[in-house]
Structure 1
Amino acid sequence: MKIQYCSDLHLEFGENSQFLQQSPLIPVADTLVLAGDITYLRSDFFENKFFDYVSDNWEQTFWIPGNHEYYCGIDMDKYQLSTPVAIRKNVFLLNNTSIKINGIFLIFSTLWSKVEKRYANYIQDNISDFECIVSGKQKLDVGTFNKLHKESLAFLRTETERLKSETKVIVTHHLPSNQCNAIEFLGSKLNSAFCTELSGFVEKTNAQAWIYGHSHRNMPEVKIGKTRLVTNQLGYVQHNEHKTFARDKVIEIVE
């Protein structure tokens, strides 16, 4: 089974939308995975023509929210998403959910990272999530952020144990290992807002693949145990982060 994947399309920005209109994703698989930061979850996001395009060109598309989906003023509590939301008949927004396709399980979770306590104040003052995201009618804080991480990780642990003998692929927005991270970010005080070192857990999952996004850096494939960690991020076109993006990136999974 081939899975096409990408993330960080950031359709909320005109430059990104224009780029993808002029250079659209090329359908090369039946299943498309969108690993977060696709567009804002505003009240009108259903109307975005991008979803018409993916509906017409893939048999099924699965989109997990990243962090930027919530930058539009909505309360993120509105979108718990344990039950998939059908944007089109074959395009689904979902989180902390597993789907079985052709004998292969796709396990989806934003996997919010875990902010290190020693850098908590610095991160809260310097990461836009804490200014732009609302949770429970209040601005997101580190405590809630880490609670979301705990919930995401608990879901992934439960699902991978439940499906330990099954063929599976994990899809997250945040990075699950420092091995996925760009050298320029390692050692940064902000790093734990993007990445959590879970290499031991990644290996235990025995997933065939782990698709991630968030960093706007398309790192080479990494293998931890039996698991291939892959990414394909557009990033901010206005900052020339799109140069290594592939419109036809796929990974093949063997049942």
Structure 2
Amino acid sequence: MKIRYFSDLHLELLKTNQIERFIRQIPPGLDEICVLAGDIGNPYEPNYNTFIKFISKNFKKSFIIAGNHEYYNKKKNMTQIIKFLTTKFENFDNISFLNNNYEIYENHCFIGTTLWSQITNPYHEINDVYQIKDFNYIKYNRLNTICVNFLNDAISMNPDMDFVIITHHVPSNDLIDIEYKSPMLAPYNQWFYCHLNDFIEKNKDKIKCWIYGHTHTPGTNLIHDVHILCNPIGYPEQHSRADFLKTIEFL
């Protein structure tokens, strides 16, 4: 099994000619699975549709989750956006939208959840609070609890499976880049990670890899011998990364 993985494309910030140029940099993977770990773009805009059609045509199977930016919408709430995304992907027979659900594919269980995080100090806010309709840190915490419970349930309901876990938020504080751990920035990290080291250790023999996003810092890490991977494309000014084509392969 070969997986090509991306996150944080932020297609909502690209002009039409930029999205076309970006797509041309991605070679087809007709024998590969594509994993998109959130913050792909605004699902209501043409850029998003252009990219999704490209993915469907050029990969044998794709799994996609929503990040926090998919919900940046002053007119539509999260429930409406999830319904819109679910309906959108029903039109593709080789793309699965995973929102606290999982799918068995080629003898592996692909689990997808945005994950969110636990906010202990609400006085250090980020754009999510202002850009997501009817949102606050209390809902953030509630969503995180739902997502973590879902992860535990998905594992327990499939005891004989190997897992590929896809989250948008970072699954461990250990993965936060050192530059963001300064006294000025550290209080904001609570919005980026959910510390699941114990969960990873408990299930290390079952998890083939864990793909995440949210941070724009690429990472190829091991936690308790589990591959924890991040391949963010980032904002347009970050698109010059020459090594943005990342894959992982296993039996």
TM-score, normalised by the number of residues in structure 2: 0.87
1:231 deviates by 1.0
Q: Which amino acid is the alignment partner of residue 253 of structure 1?
A: F
Query: Cα distance 1:208–1:21, how it changes in 2: closer, same or farther (>3 A)?
Result: closer
Q: 1:24 to 1:145 in 2, by over 3 A?
A: same
Going from structure 1 to structure 2, the CA distance change for 1:178 and 1:52 (only over 3 Å counts) comes to: same
* Structure 1 residue 253 corresponds to structure 2 residue 250: yes
**Does the CA contact (< 8 Å) of 2:38 and 2:66 recur in 1?**
yes
User: How does 1:64-213 map onto structure 2 within 5 Å?
Assistant: 64-73=65-74, 74-80=76-82, 85-116=89-120, 119-123=121-125, 127-134=126-133, 138=134, 140-186=135-181, 188-206=186-204, 207-213=207-213
**Corresponding residue for residue 57 of structure 1:** 58
CA contact (8 A) 2:11 2:47 kept: no
Measure how far apart 1:104 and its partner are. Answer: 0.7
Alpha-carbon contact 1:71-1:129 (below 8 Å) kept: yes
Q: For 1:77-104, what per-residue CA distance to the aligned partner results, in whole angstroms no more than 9, with x for missing partners?
A: 1244697842423223221111111111
Specify the SS of the correspondent of 1:189: helix
Check conservation: 1:2, 1:30, Cα contact below 8 A: yes
Q: For residues 47 and 211 of structure 1, do their structure 2 counterparts lie closer, same or farther at Cα, with a shift above 3 Å needed?
A: closer
Cα 1:46–1:235, aligned 2, differ >3 Å: closer, same or farther?
closer
Residue 10 of structure 1 and its aligned partner are, at CA, apart by 0.7
| Equivalent residue letter for 1:70 | Y
Residues 21 and 209 of structure 1: CA distance in aligned 2, closer, same or farther (over 3 Å): closer
Per-residue CA deviation, residues 117-153 of structure 1 (Å, 9 max, x unaligned), is xx21222xxx11011001xxx2x10000110100000
Stretches of structure 2 lacking an aligned partner (at least 5 in a row): none
Alignment RMSD: 2.3
What SS is found at the alignment partner of 2:11?
coil
Q: CA shift at 1:17, angstroms?
A: 2.5
Aligned pair count reads 241
Residue identity opposite 1:208 in structure 2:
K
Separation (CA, whole Å) in 2 of partners of 1:46 and 1:11:
6
| Matched residue SS, 1:122 | coil
Hey, what does 1:5 align to over in structure 2? Answer: 5
Secondary structure of the structure 1 residue equivalent to 2:129: helix
**Secondary structure, in 3 states, of the residue corresponding to 2:90?**
strand
Q: Deviations over 1:188-234 (max 9, x none)?
A: 11001001221111111221110001100002x22122411011110
* Aligned mates of 1:208, 1:100 — CA distance in 2: 14
Partner of 1:236: 235
What one-letter code is carried by the residue in structure 2 that aligns with 1:153? V
Q: Secondary structure at the match of 1:157?
A: helix
**Separation in 1 of the partners of 2:159 and 2:175?**
23
Q: Residues of 2 paired with 1:252 and 1:157: CA distance?
A: 25
Contact kept, 8 Å, 1:104 with 1:167, in 2: the verdict is yes
CA distance in 1, matches of 2:157, 2:201: 16
Output the CA distance in 2 between the equivalents of 1:146 and 1:176.
Answer: 15
Which consecutive aligned stretches of 4+ in structure 1 deviate over 3 angstroms post-superposition? Answer: 44-47, 79-85
- Would you say the 8 A contact 1:106–1:169 is kept in 2? yes
Separation (CA, whole Å) in 1 of partners of 2:26 and 2:160: 37
**Counterpart code for 2:199:** F
Aligned-partner Cα distance in 1 for 2:90–2:5: 19
Distance (Å, rounded) in 1 between the aligned partners of 2:24 and 2:122: 41
Distance in 2 (alpha carbons) for counterparts of 1:166 and 1:141 = 36
Query: CA distance change for structure 1 residues 87 and 10 in 2, over 3 Å: closer, same or farther?
Result: farther
